[in-house]
Amino acid sequence: MKFTTPLLVGAAILSLGGAALAQPAPPAGMMPGMQDASPRHDRGDRATRDPAEMAARRAQHLRDALQLTPAQEPALNAFIAALAPPAGMRDRMRAERGARAAMTTPQRLDRMKARMAERQAQFDRRADATLRFYGQLSPSQKKAFDALGPMGGRGGMGHGGGHRMGGRG
């Protein structure tokens, strides 16, 4: 009987271990491993946000975090204006999305090159605006601005996350 006792114990451990590893099936329509989408991650919500409202919120966040003085307000306004996406960008992107399927590979590559050059120009414009704004800050404000991270704590300097001020580049 000594031989069967370890077998029974081993079988019991394996059956309990298998039950512990079993997981409930994900809800219908959701792939395994995916989490429920929260509103803050909903790309559709971001697409409907008003850019002016987002800029106003970003400006207020910087005013509060940096404790800006009234004399620094023009520098803040110029900085926020420089961060705005180009006018008509959403409409242009929607129109291009439909045309992509009809493009040849060389046409798509040319389009990608043009977009890369455009993004580089946007980055340069934003970087220059950031440096001008940063130059208007006091040493303690510079330290606070540095602690905020990229774009004043609002994501990267790319295309947001839409702009990634929230999106993907």
Task: Evaluate whether residue 61 is within a structural domain.
Answer: yes
Task: Evaluate whether residue 56 is within a structural domain.
Answer: yes
Task: Evaluate whether residue 162 is within a structural domain.
Answer: no
The Cα–Cα gap between 49 and 76 comes to 21
Strand, coil or helix: what is 167? strand
pLDDT given for residue 77 in this prediction: 92
Task: Evaluate whether residue 45 is within a structural domain.
Answer: no
Task: Evaluate whether residue 38 is within a structural domain.
Answer: no
Task: Evaluate whether residue 41 is within a structural domain.
Answer: no
Candidates 159, 162, 151; CA nearest to 61 is 151
Per-residue pLDDT of the chain (169 residues; tens, 9 = 90+): 555 555 555 555 555 555 555 555 555 555 555 455 444 444 555 555 777 888 889 999 999 999 999 999 999 999 999 888 777 777 777 777 777 778 899 998 998 999 899 999 999 999 999 999 999 999 999 999 999 877 644 444 444 444 444 444 4
Task: Evaluate whether residue 79 is within a structural domain.
Answer: yes
Structural domain tally of the chain?
1
pLDDT given for residue 70 in this prediction: 93
Whole-angstrom CA distances from 113 to 103, 106, 116 are: 14, 11, 5
Name residue, tokens 């220059």.
Answer: 128
Six-digit token string for 151: 């774009």
Q: CA gyration radius for the chain?
A: 26
Give me the phi and psi of 116, to 5 degrees please: -65, -40
Task: Evaluate whether residue 109 is within a structural domain.
Answer: yes
Q: Which domain holds residue 121?
A: 51-85+103-154
Residue 10 CB burial class (10 angstroms; 0-12, 13-18, ≥19): exposed
The Cα–Cα gap between 44 and 47 comes to 5
Six-digit token string for 142: 């510079």
CA dihedral sign, ordered 9, 15, 19, 22:
positive
Please say whether the beta carbons of 61 and 153 come within 8 A. Answer: yes
